[in-house]
Every structure is written in C-alpha cells, then in structure tokens.
Amino acid sequence: MCVGGPVTGHIGRVFGPHTLDYVVNLCWHRYDYLVRLPDWLLLNILSFLEWTEIKNISQTCKRLQQLCCSEVFWERGTAGARYGQSEVTMEGVSRSLQRRLVVFHRRQVLSRLAQQQHSKRKNSIWHL
C-alpha cells in the first residue's frame, strides 16, 4: 500500500529515517503512543509500576530502558518508595537495575533511621 516505492524514498530523504519508520509503522497499524510521550509524563507513569513491571517494560525498547535506568527515575521519591520495602528475588533483572534497586533500598533504610533518630532526640527530655 504505502510501503515501498518512490514515496518511501522521498519521505526518508526529506524527513529522515525515524520519520520514515514511524510512517511505515502507521501504515501497518502499529502505533507507539507510549514511546512518543514526553519524558516527564513517562516518568510519572512509571512511578506507579511495580518493580517486575519496570523490569518488563525496560526490555521493550531502548528509550524505556534508558528512562527506567536513569538517575532521575530512581532519585524521585515517588518513583520507587515501594521498591525498598519488600524482599524480592531479582531473577532476570539486569545488573545495572539490580545495583540501582540496592542503592535505592539503602537510601530508604538510612533515611528512615535518620528520621527515627531525629524524632527520638526531639522527644528526649535532655533536648534543648
């Protein structure tokens, strides 16, 4: 239908290979709405997923893998407050993602300890 021929060559030359791939996929009814969303919105959506879902979605394409492994995603408080709270086996999870989960878990534990110590000092009789 619209795949192949001189039109495809013109689209590729004028708009580039990414636009050509996008147009060809549209012709074959393959839509990629999720990947076309802005980073801030994708990060917000990803923050609601469980760690196994993040593992699976990070394996679907390069852009989602980069977002799931980005510092911005793991440093956001809402991005994974749940991930450090449960014991999980990490079969099938990449090493970089495992490291990020461990670092995030450590940060959460240290943060909770610091908050507990602060509240104990605040409630102490000897606190001035």
Alpha helices in 16-61 (DSSP H): 17-27, 39-46, 51-58
What's the mean pLDDT when you consider all of the chain? 74
**Residue 14, domain member (yes or no):** no
Q: What is the pLDDT along the chain (128 residues), one digit of tens a residue?
A: 456 677 777 888 888 888 888 888 888 887 777 878 898 888 888 888 877 788 888 888 888 888 888 878 877 654 445 554 444 556 667 777 777 777 777 677 667 767 777 777 776 665 55
Exposure string (b/e) for 15-50, b if CB count within 10 Å is 16 or more? eeeeebebbbeeeeeeeeeeeeeeeeebbeebbebe
Residue 24 lies in a domain: no
Residue 3 lies in a domain: no
- Asked if residue 13 is part of any domain, the answer here is no
The CATH number of whichever domain residue 114 belongs to comes to 1.20.1280
User: What pTM, to 2 d.p., does this model score?
Assistant: 0.47
Token digits of residue 30 = 């393959």
**Rounded CA separation 93/64 (Å):** 15
Reading phi first (left if > 0) and then psi (alpha if -120 to 50, else beta), residue 29 is in left
Q: Is residue 4 situated within a structural domain?
A: no
- Structural domain contains residue 17: no
Q: Which domain holds residue 88?
A: 32-123
* pLDDT digit string, tens, across residues 55-85: 888 888 888 888 888 878 877 654 445 554 4
- What's the total number of domains in the chain? 1
Judge whether 11 lies within some domain: no
Is residue 111 in some structural domain?
yes
